A and B are shown apart, each in its own frame.
Chain A
Amino acid sequence: MRLVNFIKSSIVGILDMAEELLSEIGLVLMFLGEFLYWAIRPPFRIQETFRQLDFVGTQSILLIVMTGAFTGMVSVLQGYNAMSRYGAESLVGAATALALARELGPVLTGLMVVGRVGSAMTAELGSMRNTQQIDALLSMAVAPVQYLVCPRIIAASIAMPFLSAIFAFSGMIGAYIMSVEYLHIDAGAFMSAVRDYVTSSDVTQGLIKAAAFGLILSLVACFKGFNAGGGARGVGVATTKSVVLSSVLILFSDYLMTAIMF
């Protein structure tokens, strides 16, 4: 009897969570509509967009370079371990390049940017909501979505493909150093395998994904911050939810896009 009740309550809990997630996604999509409405109307906030590009893009480069390099190095070590069993060590560079261009680059860049930028966006907008700064904009006849949200979403969607490319490039440098210097794979074999197996469409797919992740993470971050309530605790809760929802949506949309573009 206790087991039946446990299973019942677990199913109800899972259904509640699914319902909450779906309703969140619905609200985020409505917010997307609001963003699109304001994004195409003047005044265009060029200066603010450049400020956000600097925050999302330029200031993330060091983090992305480090993460990319270590990811490339780890991928080579793991790949070498598996491929050496079949005598295909020379293909480890190509496998790493494909993984970095198609998956690891956009997904890990997305997750890193969620942590560094998405959380900051939510906290900043949430704090502005709680200190009436968003009300002040409205009272001055300035559309807050146009002034605060549009520059952030546009900047993140533009910056993410560049960051993803930097991630993949750093990853390949890490992979090259690990393969050639540490595992003594022939440099020529490493490079020719990369050239033979990686096509421009692999790179394009990765960049398209990265732009989509930029849109998703900034949209969720702005939505959560814009609707944060309840003082400091409310901002904290909104930031946590923003990071969780963005991460889940990035992984989910990665699957969908891969299935479509595969």
Chain B
Amino acid sequence: MIQVDDVRKKFGDQEVLKGVTFEVKKGSISTLIGRSGAGKSILLRHMIGLDEPDKGHIVIDGKDIVGMKTPELNKIRRRFGVLFQDGALFDSMSVSENVAFPLREHRGLPENEIQDVVMQKLDVVGLRRHTQKYPSEISGGMRKRVGLARALALDPDIVFFDEPTSGLDPITRGAIYRLIENTHVDGKITYFLVSHDISGVMAISDEIMMIHDGRIVACGTPDSFRTSSDQVVQQFLMGSPDGPISID
């Protein structure tokens, strides 16, 4: 389980996170939604220990990662998989080398076993035929799929997704959501997504949190979001420029 408790962050005079609090249940698919610039990706960076909050706690399976020393944090990170917004693939490595990277770093397996795992993960994302290509030679959707294969390489307990479908066409977007659903094992692996693609995440999420103006303004199941009377939630769901969320 992940607990985010009263997390606050300021950049200069601008307070981006103003006391964010929520819980992510173990084994669930939970999604944080909100407008672009609402602080979703910043919060995700805090949850994977890339940034430190000014105040607050982020507790992962009972351990607070805020202020944690790097070696201890790295032990927790080895249980993570992260799919970054544009895949963040290493452009000097081929597709298979990218997927093999975390295995080579942390598993110490013989090379033939590493290759078996790589092929198995690339099979899952449907990219077995593209192992020798470089990130610059594949499409945006394929890069995200390779990123997912790499995130799953160590069979993590938690996978974080930063805008997994941004910049993709509707069909590829659907394929990515199907992959997320298919690779998720209920009760065993926790998926935490950050997205503003409301229609897509409503279909696959167990729980949704909405961040607005640096705070969580709504939290619940997709059904409770659909029936919510909260004007902020309804404006976001409708995609309307008129309402309490101002366009700046």
| Interface residues in chain A, defined as those with a beta carbon under 8 Å from any beta carbon in chain B | 127-128, 131-133, 135-136, 138-143
Q: How many Å lie between the Cα of A81 and that of B50 in the bound state?
A: 62
How many chain B residues touch the partner (CB < 8 A)? 22
Q: Tell me if B77 and A141 are in contact (CB < 8 A).
A: yes
The answer to whether B77 touches A136, judged by C-beta atoms less than 8 angstroms apart, is no
Which residues of B are in contact with A by a Cβ distance under 8 Å? 45, 48-50, 70, 74-75, 77-78, 80, 82, 84-86, 88-91, 101-102, 105-106
Question: Which residue of chain B has the shortest Cβ distance to A127 in the bound complex?
Answer: B91
Asked whether, in the complex, the Cβ of B78 is within 8 Å of the Cβ of A141, the reply is: yes
B40 to chain A minimum Cβ distance, whole angstroms, is 15
Chain A residues whose CB sits within 8 angstroms of the CB of B105 once the complex forms: 140-142
Would you mind naming 12 contact pairs between A and B with Cβ atoms under 8 Å apart?
A127-B91, A131-B88, A132-B84, A132-B85, A133-B91, A135-B88, A136-B89, A136-B90, A139-B50, A139-B77, A140-B105, A141-B105
**Among A128, A132, A139, residue most surrounded by chain B Cβ atoms (within 10 Å):** A139
Q: A132-B85, A133-B91 are in contact. Are A140 and B50 (CB under 8 A)?
A: no
The interface residues of chain A lying within 8 Å CB-to-CB of B89 are 133, 136
Please pick, from A135, A140, A143, the residue contacting B102 in the complex, using a CB distance under 8 A.
A140
A132 to B105, CA, bound (A): 19
Most buried by A among B75, B84, B106: B84
**Within 8 Å CB of B86, what residues of A?**
131-132
List, in ascending order, chain B residues with CB within 8 A of A133's CB.
Answer: 88-91
Interface contact A136-B84, CB-CB below 8 Å:
yes
- A129 to chain B: closest CB distance in Å? 11
Bound form: Cα–Cα A143–B74 in Å: 9
- A139, B48: Cβ atoms closer than 8 Å: yes
Contacts of A128 in B (CB 8 A): 90
Q: Judge whether A138 and B50 touch: CB under 8 Å.
A: yes
B84 x A135 contact (CB < 8 A): yes
Distance between Cα atoms of A139 and B45 in the complex (Å): 9
Known: A140-B101, A141-B74, A141-B77. A135 touches B50 (CB 8 A): yes
CA distance A229 to B88 in the complex (A): 16
How far is the CB of A136 from the nearest CB of chain B, in Å?
4
Measured CB to CB, the nearest residue on chain B to A137 is B90
List of A residues within 8 angstroms of B88 by Cβ? 131-133, 135-136
Query: What 8 A-B pairs have minimum CB-CB distances, sorted nearest first?
Result: A141-B74, A132-B88, A136-B88, A141-B77, A139-B82, A132-B84, A140-B102, A141-B78
Nearest CB of A to B104, in Å: 10
| Distance A134 CA – B234 CA, assembled complex (angstroms) | 38
- B70: chain A residues at CB < 8 Å are 143
Known: A135-B84, A136-B89, A140-B82. 16 other contacts (CB 8 A): A131-B86, A131-B91, A132-B85, A132-B86, A135-B50, A136-B82, A136-B84, A136-B88, A138-B49, A138-B77, A139-B48, A139-B77, A140-B101, A140-B102, A141-B77, A141-B105
- In the bound complex, CA of A128 to CA of B90 (Å): 8
CB neighbours (8 Å) of B90 from chain A are 128, 133, 136
